[in-house]
Amino acid sequence: MLGGMQDFELRVPRLLDHAAREHWGREIVTRWADGSETRTTWAGIARDARKLAQALERLGVKKGDRVATLAMNHSRHLVAWYGAIGMGGVVHTINPRLFDDQLAFIGNHAEDRVLFYDKAFAPIVERMKPEWRTIQHYYCFDGDGRGSFEALLAQEDGNYAWVEGGERDPCMLCYTSGTTGNPKGVVYSHRSSVIHAITELQPAEFDLSTQSVVLPIVPMFHAVGWGLPFACAAVGAKFVFSAVNEPRILCELMNREKVTHSAGVPTVWFGMFQHMDATGDAPGHLKIVTIGGSAAPRAMIERIMKMGVRVNHAWGMTETSPIGTMGAPSADWDEMSFDSQVDQVSKQGKVPFGVELRVVDDEGNLQPRDGQSSGRLQVRGPWVIRQYFQDESGPCVDADNWFDTGDVAVLHPDGVMQITDRAKDVIKSGGEWISSVELENAAVGCAGVAEAAAIGVYHPRWDERPILLVVRKPDSQVSVEDIQAHLAQHVAKWWLPDEVHFVESLPHTATGKLLKTAIREQYKDFKLAAA
């Protein structure tokens, strides 16, 4: 057929070029670890990214080489992403909260060539240097003098054209913080990143525009900072970064910079609530808060919605770029009671165009979308993984591209997905399943409970029975009886935990989620008093 459209490779540097051209003056604010603040713009980020691309070429970095970062959120980290990607490199974000053997493994497995790091993580770098075999150059983002990021940029003039290539070239690499076995690397392409970024702009997703002022609490090393560094460039949103995730600092920044959008795991909001209760402070300009990474408890959603703020409940994984579903307002939202709205957002929501979901039983049979039949959640789409980095065993999807998430879920008739548990966290009592997530979320709705973890422990008759570990809020006297009475209003009687224990704290993964494997390990020989 004669005629057609232009070929336009969907490459990440185009996002930055667009932001620098159309939204050049929109600010990128950083509050650094030492308390100082700097302000730059999308034009400034683009200028510095070109300088960094030049510098990396001068260091001998080649197309496809991995450039690693070990850093919190700030403008220089953003420059590093765009600069390294712009010269054809692949940015590998390292999670500083990993254990040393995991850090050693991923640095070597990724074959990183250069590492940019925060001064706060210098001790990690010193410790790991002898282990990392391929890293030749180290630069400190917030250091002084030679060996600092600024000194590296200062040598360049920024007169640089991005490396061209195909849209299916890799641009990012992120390892899943697997709690058992070695971490696995997820490779993102330019194309998957750009399509994902554009999807995130939609009203039913992050709802972003140039008017948005975005403070991502989610670190850039957690699943590509949930895609925000790319999505915000597409509309020239203003960024407010904090290199320190302290509720007092976040709250102050949110108010001063009039932050409209924020995103983070539930733990972050627990911390924010404690700060609000203790000081009477509250973020005043927020419009949308996105919570994901683990299930957002109903009580948390309710509290934020009562502040007049929309809650987006996001489900996703490192393997899904990460947006899989979003619990955003439905078509009949305005006719719903407040309680039904909260119920709605408590589920994980619907897929955007591009993602497909299905639920299958253990034999692989498709389950109906009836809101009851639970099973393994599978996903596919153009920003969903096909094969892990350097994984000789081949694709991690079936012949039709379905990727098994390891989550247990139900699909409702209206397309809303609800996670009931992670397959390995489900508590199996007498052949029936008890959702640890639901127990935990019901528990944190009880006054005086700061955090809770439900695990299954051995029971001679039922195989497993749930116990609940509870961290009390400071000064709270909440009792086992109070908690059981509260739970009884929210879950079936046979789900009630056989025992409730108070603990000082609970272990978390590197991305701030409950570390269930460690808790189970601790209780593996536990004997129930009544068993």
In this chain, which stretch among 157-165, 448-456, 508-516, 522-530 interacts with ligand ADP, using CB under 6 A? 508-516
Strand, coil or helix: 76: helix
- State the nearest-atom distance from the C-beta of 269 to ligand ADP, in Å: 13
Locate 160 and state its tokens: 């640089």
513 binds ligand ADP (CB under 6 A): yes
Burial zone of 308 (CB within 10 Å; 0-12 exposed, 13-18 middle, 19+ buried): exposed
**Among residues 197, 317, 384, 427, which is the contact residue for ligand ADP, using CB under 6 A?**
317
Q: Single out the catalytic residue among 111, 433, 513, 517.
A: 433
Enumerate residues 6+ apart whose C-beta is below 8 A from 451: 267, 270, 444, 470, 471, 506, 514
CA–CA gap between residue 497 and residue 439 (Å, rounded): 8
Which sign does the torsion angle of CA 76, 326, 410, 487 carry? positive
**Among residues 75, 102, 341, 348, which is the contact residue for ligand ADP, using CB under 6 A?**
348
**Among residues 292, 297, 375, 497, which is the contact residue for ligand ADP, using CB under 6 A?**
292
Q: Residue 5's CB: how many other CB atoms inside 10 A? A: 5
- Residue closer to ligand ADP (CB basis): 167 or 407: 407
344 binds ligand ADP (CB under 6 A): no
- Residue closer to ligand ADP (CB basis): 374 or 509: 509
Q: Single out the catalytic residue among 62, 129, 428, 527.
A: 428
Chain positions 188 to 227 lying near ligand ADP, rule: CB under 6 A, are 223
417 binds ligand ADP (CB under 6 A): no
Pick the closest to residue 133 from 113, 158, 150, 151 (CA basis).
113
Backbone Cα Rg of the chain: 23
Contact letters for ligand ADP, residues 103-142 (x by CB under 6 A):
----------------------------------------
267 binds ligand ADP (CB under 6 A): no
Locate 259 and state its tokens: 């932050």
Locate 118 and state its tokens: 């925060």
Output helix, strand, coil percentages for the chain, rounded to the nearest 5: 30, 25, 45
Contact letters for ligand ADP, residues 392-411 (x by CB under 6 A):
-------------xxx----
137-140 and 170-176 strand pairing: unpaired
30 binds ligand ADP (CB under 6 A): no
Pick the closest to residue 66 from 46, 81, 55 (CA basis).
81
**Among residues 107, 293, 375, 466, which is the contact residue for ligand ADP, using CB under 6 A?**
293
**Is 319 labeled as catalytic in the residue annotation?**
yes
- State the nearest-atom distance from the C-beta of 325 to ligand ADP, in Å: 8
- Residue closer to ligand ADP (CB basis): 295 or 416: 295
Total binding residues toward ligand ADP, as defined by CB under 6 A: 22
176 binds ligand ADP (CB under 6 A): yes
Enumerate residues 6+ apart whose C-beta is below 8 A from 182: 102, 105, 109
Q: Single out the catalytic residue among 38, 176, 179, 517.
A: 176
Assess contact for 342 and 302: CB atoms under 8 A: yes
345 binds ligand ADP (CB under 6 A): no
Catalytic residues: 176, 319, 428, 433
- Binding residues (CB under 6 A) for ligand ADP: these are 176-177, 223, 292-295, 313-318, 348, 405-407, 419, 422, 509, 511, 513
